């Protein structure tokens, strides 16, 4: 089965061709991505209208590039998949309109995919794919969740953030430190120069006894620390070392909470495999600490390939393939299309009624 997948939920336009072989093994034949980061940087964050317009400009050239690199023709496709939600309504509409128009023109079925399911299943495209069941730590710009995954479409929420997501904590702290958008990679880069033990920042809900997270207090602590440093430093502002130390301490606080809660989720569920997915899963300190903790306890940690951690078309094509193969979804002939900007993963099989764009 050959699936062309489209991702356009936020600030990356992603297209990919995934092939599912007779043994149910997924292979990435080609993928292409355009990141809008440079365009949104001037505004300090994603501007939804600009995002939609740029997706329109990029989506067809990227699809052509993917088909060319995979040496495939449109006629070879069996299914066209797209991100149906959650995400920015206008941005989602570009991917869904493209996929449905292609489906209609080619007489091929289409399937709308849940963006988070794409992230969750993305490690199945890695050289070291997991097997079910496992615990998933989903850490993106909008979500921080721990889930028990028993199979495709079989997801039980174990805990989640009660306020900011981990990626948001990175992004907001980076903004306070005057770093560019997106903040996660920028803060992580500055942190490599700093001392993670320099500032004792809060580890919210670390000992709550639940698997929930809270990161909103952290940015307040970062702000307070920064103000104190500014007051002490005078006109020149805090030293480069002090800023790096604060970045390192912020990253250490976020990572420690994510690692400890993941270990607690594995212990509580009795499972021995952890899958880390979503943009924050690209964080090197998070990976290093999880690997060390796992090695000590004889646990396995699986990650998507680094370039498939952040948004991409491959995870959408893959999720569609796996849902179809598992009998969890039936591709439909393309017809009227809708997107679901707000779509909780818990409602994956019972999507809320079509939402106005």
Residues near ligand KG4 (CB under 6 A): 10, 119, 140-142, 167, 170-171, 182-185, 188, 278-280, 282-283, 310-311
- One of 36, 52, 83, 140 touching Zn ion (CB under 5 A): 140
By the 10 Å C-beta count (0-12 exposed, 13-18 middle, 19+ buried), 146 is classed as: buried
Work out what residue 282 binds among ligand KG4, Zn ion, none; the CB cut-off runs from 5 to 8 Å by kind: ligand KG4
Closest among 303, 320, 321 to 262, alpha carbons compared: 303
- One of 311, 315, 320, 341 touching Zn ion (CB under 5 A): 311
Tokens found for residue 282: 């690209």
d(CA 183, CA 329) in angstroms, rounded, equals 36
Work out what residue 188 binds among ligand KG4, Zn ion, none; the CB cut-off runs from 5 to 8 Å by kind: ligand KG4
Nearest distance from C-beta of residue 182 to ligand KG4, angstroms: 4
- Stretch (H or E) spanning 66: helix 48-69
Nearest distance from C-beta of residue 235 to ligand KG4, angstroms: 31
Nearer to ligand KG4, 10 or 28 (CB): 10
Which one of 67-75, 168-176, 229-237, 304-312 is the stretch in contact with Zn ion (CB under 5 A)? 304-312
d(CA 313, CA 306) in angstroms, rounded, equals 14
Q: Based on the shown chain and the rule CB under 5 A, indicate whether residue 98 belongs to the binding site for Zn ion.
A: no
Cβ within 8 Å of residue 342, ≥6 positions away: 85, 86, 352, 355
Work out what residue 341 binds among Zn ion, ligand KG4, none; the CB cut-off runs from 5 to 8 Å by kind: none
Nearer to ligand KG4, 129 or 142 (CB): 142
Nearest distance from C-beta of residue 310 to ligand KG4, angstroms: 3
CB 5 within 8 A of CB 317: yes
Work out what residue 40 binds among ligand KG4, Zn ion, none; the CB cut-off runs from 5 to 8 Å by kind: none
Nearest distance from C-beta of residue 193 to Zn ion, angstroms: 28
Work out what residue 144 binds among ligand KG4, Zn ion, none; the CB cut-off runs from 5 to 8 Å by kind: none
* CB atoms near residue 247 (< 10 Å): 29
Work out what residue 98 binds among ligand KG4, Zn ion, none; the CB cut-off runs from 5 to 8 Å by kind: none
Tokens found for residue 323: 């849902």
C-alpha distances in Å from residue 283, one per residue of 29, 109, 166, 286: 26, 37, 11, 5
Nearer to Zn ion, 271 or 308 (CB): 308
- Spell out the alpha helix ranges (H) of 88-215: 89-106, 115-121, 166-176, 183-191
Footprint of Zn ion (CB under 5 A): 140, 311
């Amino acid at each position: 089965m050959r699936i062309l997948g489209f991702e356009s939920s936020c600030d990356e336009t992603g297209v990919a061709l995934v092939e599912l072989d007779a043994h149910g093994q997924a292979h990435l034949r080609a993928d292409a991505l355009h990141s809008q980061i440079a365009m949104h940087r001037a505004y300090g964050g994603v501007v939804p209208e600009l995002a939609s317009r740029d997706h329109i400009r990029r989506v067809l050239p990227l699809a052509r590039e993917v088909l060319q690199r995979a040496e495939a023709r449109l006629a070879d496709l069996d299914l066209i998949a797209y991100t149906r939600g959650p995400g920015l309504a206008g941005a989602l509409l570009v991917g869904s309109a493209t996929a449905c128009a292609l489906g209609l023109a080619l007489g091929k079925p289409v399937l709308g995919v849940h963006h988070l399911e794409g992230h969750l299943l993305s490690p199945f495209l890695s050289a070291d794919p997991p097997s079910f069941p496992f615990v998933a730590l989903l850490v993106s710009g909008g979500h921080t969740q721990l889930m028990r995954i028993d199979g495709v479409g079989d997801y039980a929420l174990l805990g989640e953030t009660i306020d900011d997501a981990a990626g948001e904590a990175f992004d907001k702290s980076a903004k306070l430190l005057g770093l560019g958008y997106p903040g996660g990679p920028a803060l992580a880069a500055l942190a490599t120069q700093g001392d993670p033990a320099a500032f004792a920042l809060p580890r919210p809900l670390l000992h709550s006894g639940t698997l929930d997270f809270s990161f909103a207090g952290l940015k307040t602590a970062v702000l307070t620390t920064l103000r104190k440093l500014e007051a002490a430093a005078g006109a020149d502002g805090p030293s480069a070392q002090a800023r790096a130390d604060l970045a390192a301490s912020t990253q250490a606080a976020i990572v420690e909470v994510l690692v400890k809660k993941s270990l607690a989720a594995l212990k509580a569920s009795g499972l021995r495999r952890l899958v880390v997915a979503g943009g924050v899963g690209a964080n090197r300190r998070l990976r290093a600490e999880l690997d060390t903790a796992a090695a000590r306890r004889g646990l396995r940690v699986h990650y998507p390939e680094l370039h498939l951690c952040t948004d991409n078309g491959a995870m959408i094509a893959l999720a569609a393939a796996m849902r179809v193969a598992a009998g969890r979804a039936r591709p439909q002939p393309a017809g009227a299309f809708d997107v679901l900007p707000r779509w909780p993963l818990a409602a994956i099989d019972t999507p809320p009624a079509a939402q106005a764009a």
